A and B are shown apart, each in its own frame.
Chain A
């Protein structure tokens, strides 16, 4: 989506940490999300964060939000081969019913 931007590719060694970055333009965004899409599949909601939070941790996943810079990141600790997928950043507004997605970051985990 034109309001959400992500880098297109990331290559990471198995066992290392991955960091996927996203920027958004809508200052009224209230929810920010990370979805995962494996080949030929739908989207899996990985995690989300409210705009009044700075950080959220969920097992191997850490989301950081810099609201001032409108920057969102997803860190995956101890990256595994099963983490190879396309990761989408998305946002929605307070009264907004739609998700606006970035173009996705393709993460490749190499042995």
Chain B
């Protein structure tokens, strides 16, 4: 069974740029959730995708957007990057919006 994978591992961008992060869900899972974890804090929910539709969103501005593809993999896009967007971005997969979410290793984004 393949676990959740994310790419890239690390990324450095400058303020104002755009970034795309990628996530492949665990085999058999059709739901992907994205979280932002700032240094020293717990993860904060960004949004969830189920069957290629956004299924819920946390308190993040519209410049955070996402996609889910027919194979259930997902992308997180962030436009107009700000310094405070520097964080570990975590993707989690689950089955049918179920509440057991399994996390990938994360993408560390640094905005300079």
Contact = CB atoms under 8 A, between A and B. Distances in A.
Interface of A: 1, 4, 30-31, 35, 41-45, 48, 88, 90, 92, 96-104
Contacts of A44: 103
B7 interface: no
B99 A43 contact: no
B104 A97 contact: no
Interface stretch (B12-20, B36-44, B64-72, B74-82): B36-44
Interface SS majority for chain A: strand
Contacts of B101: 45, 99
A98 B45 contact: yes
Interface in B72-110: 90, 92, 97, 99-106
A42 B106 contact: yes
A42 B104 contact: yes
Nearest to A31: B99
A45 B99 CA distance: 12
Given A42-B90, A43-B43, A104-B42, A98 B56 contact: yes
Contacts of B48: 97-98
A37 to B, nearest CB: 9
